[in-house]
Structure formats: C-alpha cells, structure tokens
C-alpha cells in the first residue's frame, strides 16, 4: 500500500529475470516509487497482489502458468489494482492481447524496449504514469452524480446535426473509447476522429482492436482522406490530426508538440473550431494532464456540443477536470452515457426530418 505522501508501491511481473531487473532499476531511480516485489508469471502475480497490496502492477502479457490477460482479470476480481501492461509491439498478437487486457482491468500499455535507447525513453514516461494512476486510486471515491441530475443533463441536449465527433483520451482511454463507440448507433451519420495518447507503435493495434471488437471501420488516419460517415479515424504518432473546412483530414507533422503532445487533443479540437464547430461534438475522456481542455472550451464557445467523462468512471480525472474548470461543458457522464447523448442528437434529427 502507499499513503497520500508515501512512495508508490509497485509489483513487477515478467517471466524474464533480466527484464525484471532492468525495470526495477528504472523505477527505483524515479522519485516516489518503491518496488515491493517481483513475480515470474500471472499466478504468482495474483498471490503477490494479495500478500503485498501494491498500489500499481507492471504486467507482461506472454508468461507461463497464467498469462497477463488472465492475471488482469483475476486481480480485478480478488483485489482491484491498477495494472500497466509492458509488452512487445513487434508481435501483433501481443499488442491485441494487451488491449484485451484493458477490457479486464488494465489501464495503459507501454512498449517493451528492444534497444538501450528505448529503456531511456521509458524511464521518462513510465514513472509518471505509475504515480498518476496511484494518485487517482488513492483519492477518496467521488460521490456519483444522482441519476436525476444525469438524466436532466442528457435531456438538456437538444437535437442537432452532428457530422463530426472529436474525441480525446489518455490514461485509461482505449477502453473508454471502446465503450463510447459501442453505444453509438450502428448506422453512424458522422465521422469520428480520435486522439489517444499512447506509446508509439500501438496506434495500428488500437485501431485493429477497436475495429474487431466493435465491427466498425476503424483505421489510423491518412493525410488527405475525406471524412466519411460511419468511419473512425485515429491520429498517428508524431502528427497532429486536423479537420479542414472541406471535410478532409490533414496530418501535421511539422508543427511542434503542444503541451508535450503530438498528436494533441487541443490541436484536433481547435481545427474543428475553424472548420465546422456547430456540426462538431467534442468529447474529452479519462487521462492525466490537461490536453484538450482549452480546445474543448473553444469548441463550447463556438457553439459545439461538448462533453466529458465523469470522475467516477475515469481512470485519471485530469483532462476532464481541467475542461470542467475552464467551463468547457456541464455534462459529465460515463462513456456509455456520453454515447447515448450523441445518439439522442441524431435521433432528434431523424424525427425532425
């Protein structure tokens, strides 16, 4: 366990002693993190979670006895604990399994480095994620919004033509995005554009996982592609995903990162402000930091429908909280209900037609 001001206790799970040793050194150099144990397979991981009560588990996927997928599911049932997946991105099956782990309790996926420089990069991102998910878990559980208030907020959304749905997400985002997309109408009268902060190289895997699990047209966006109804396009690594006024998608790899992010949620939202604000719905989901908050506020001021994920269902409430503090929206709901709000817009349009 870890206190509000104490170090974050971490359990490392990997069948390779070498990988465990490297990850231990990486984490022990980071401020405010303490490695309390190691496990060589999923079964040991479950036992160690119960015995050591870590704040965060760092989990491999392919392991003997019990793999990481089964271990995530088991941990979620015996002692729910944030799990960060560390796996190879070279193997498509491993990548797909990593996203499936998110459906069973994992919160984020990181690439297992294959060269020394990769470990240095991981040292710059992994500790921050560990601290963020631990901090979110240690906070007092939020008071759920009363059903009457949630119903009122949904009913406050009037029928409108929504041709573009722009979504931003970070930590915990893949599963939140999946839940939102699953609640949208099967025949979708809009283009969905997604900026998901994720480790480089996992964008294709995310698209394949979402497309396979939802039966939708989900792909990584291509420059110059025309926005089309019913498709979901994900921003590639290293380029801002932008919507132009003529309805085409643009990838900007030349402009600098915004707030440390390229792609940036703010950049996507701001492009929608300049292109088709009144026909856009902006949605900001779980994630640490504040990327997307300024852009969502600009969308709101330009007349767009704006929504955020609520605190109770967020893995990390940073991005939605920042948007709420900027007055970007008053509607905060779980992902499935956000999808229902959007569906209400389109249903209203059909009735008016």
DSSP 273-306: HHH-GGGEEEEE-S-SS-TTHHHHHHHHHTT-EE
Asked which of 122-131, 144-153, 172-181, 283-292 is least confident by mean pLDDT, the reply is 144-153
* Cβ contact 33:22 at 8 Å: no
Q: What would the mean pLDDT of 181-187 be, rounded to a whole number? A: 95
Cis peptide before 281 (omega within 30 of 0): no
Q: Identify the CA nearest to 11 among candidates 79, 62, 97, 70.
A: 79
Q: Identify the CA nearest to 353 among candidates 144, 219, 159, 196.
A: 159
Q: pTM of the predicted model, to two decimals?
A: 0.90
Q: 274-309 pLDDT, tens per residue?
A: 999 999 999 999 999 999 999 999 999 999 999 999
Which is more confidently placed, 89 or 7?
7
Residue 139 has a pLDDT of 65
Cβ atoms within 10 Å of 325's Cβ, excluding its own = 11
**Residues tagged active-site:** 170, 197, 291
CATH 3.40.50.2300 occupies which residues in the chain? 8-138
Task: Provide the mean pLDDT of the chain.
Answer: 91
Q: Is the pLDDT of residue 4 over 90?
A: no
* Cβ contact 122:110 at 8 Å: yes
User: Within 16-85, where are the H helices?
Assistant: 17-28, 42-52, 68-78
Q: Is the pLDDT of residue 231 over 90?
A: yes
What is d(CA 153, CA 185) in angstroms, rounded to the nearest whole number? 20
Run of H or E including 322 = helix 318-325
List C-alpha distances in Å: 64 to 14, 61, 79, 87, 135.
10, 10, 22, 15, 31
Q: What would the mean pLDDT of 204-222 be, rounded to a whole number? A: 95
Q: Crossing angle of helices 335-352/173-182, nearest 10°?
A: 30
CATH 3.40.50.180 occupies which residues in the chain? 147-352
The owner of tokens 């969502």 is 296
Give the CB-side neighbour count of residue 120, counting CA atoms within 13 A: 3
Q: Which residues, in sequence order, are bridge partners of residue 106?
A: 83
Q: Is the pLDDT of residue 137 over 80?
A: no
CATH code of 147-352, in short, is 3.40.50.180
Percent of the chain with pLDDT over 90: 75
Please give the distance of CA 296 from its chain centroid, rounded to a whole number: 17
Give the neighbor-by-neighbor strand order of the sheet with 8-13: 33-39, 8-13, 56-59, 83-87, 106-111
- Look at domain 8-138 and name its CATH class: alpha beta
What is d(CA 153, CA 142) in angstroms, rounded to the nearest whole number? 18
């Amino acid at each position: 366990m870890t206190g509000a001001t104490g170090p974050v206790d971490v359990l490392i799970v990997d069948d390779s002693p070498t990988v465990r040793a490297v990850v231990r050194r990486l984490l022990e150099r980071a401020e405010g993190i303490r490695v309390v144990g190691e496990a060589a397979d999923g079964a040991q991981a479950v036992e160690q979670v119960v015995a050591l009560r870590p704040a965060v588990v760092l989990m491999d996927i392919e392991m003997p006895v019990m793999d990481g997928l089964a271990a995530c599911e088991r941990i979620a049932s015996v002692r729910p604990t944030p799990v960060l997946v560390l796996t190879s991105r070279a193997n498509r099956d491993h990548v797909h399994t990593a996203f499936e782990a998110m459906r069973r309790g994992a919160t984020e996926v990181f690439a297992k480095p294959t060269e020394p420089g990769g470990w240095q990069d991981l040292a710059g991102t992994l500790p921050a994620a560990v601290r963020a998910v631990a901090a979110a878990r240690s906070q007092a559980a939020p008071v759920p919004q009363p059903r009457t208030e949630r119903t009122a907020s949904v009913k406050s959304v009037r029928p409108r033509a929504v041709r573009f749905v722009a979504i931003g997400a970070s930590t915990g985002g893949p599963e939140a995005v999946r839940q939102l997309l699953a609640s949208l109408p099967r025949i979708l009268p809009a283009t969905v554009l997604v900026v998901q902060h994720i480790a480089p190289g996992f964008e294709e895997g995310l698209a394949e996982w979402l497309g396979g699990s939802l039966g939708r047209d989900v792909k990584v966006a291509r420059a110059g592609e025309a926005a089309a109804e019913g498709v979901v396009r994900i921003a590639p690594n290293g380029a801002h995903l932008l919507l132009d006024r003529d309805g085409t998608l643009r990838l900007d790899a030349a402009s600098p990162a915004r707030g440390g992010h390229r792609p940036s949620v703010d950049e996507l939202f701001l492009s929608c402000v300049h292109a088709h604000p009144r026909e856009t719905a902006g949605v900001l989901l779980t994630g640490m930091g504040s990327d997307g908050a300024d852009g969502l506020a600009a969308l709101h001021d330009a007349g767009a429908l704006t929504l955020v994920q609520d605190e109770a269902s967020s893995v990390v409430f940073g991005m939605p909280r920042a948007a709420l503090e900027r007055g970007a929206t008053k509607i905060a709901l779980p992902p499935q209900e956000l999808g229902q709000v959007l569906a209400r817009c389109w249903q209203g349009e059909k009735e008016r037609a």
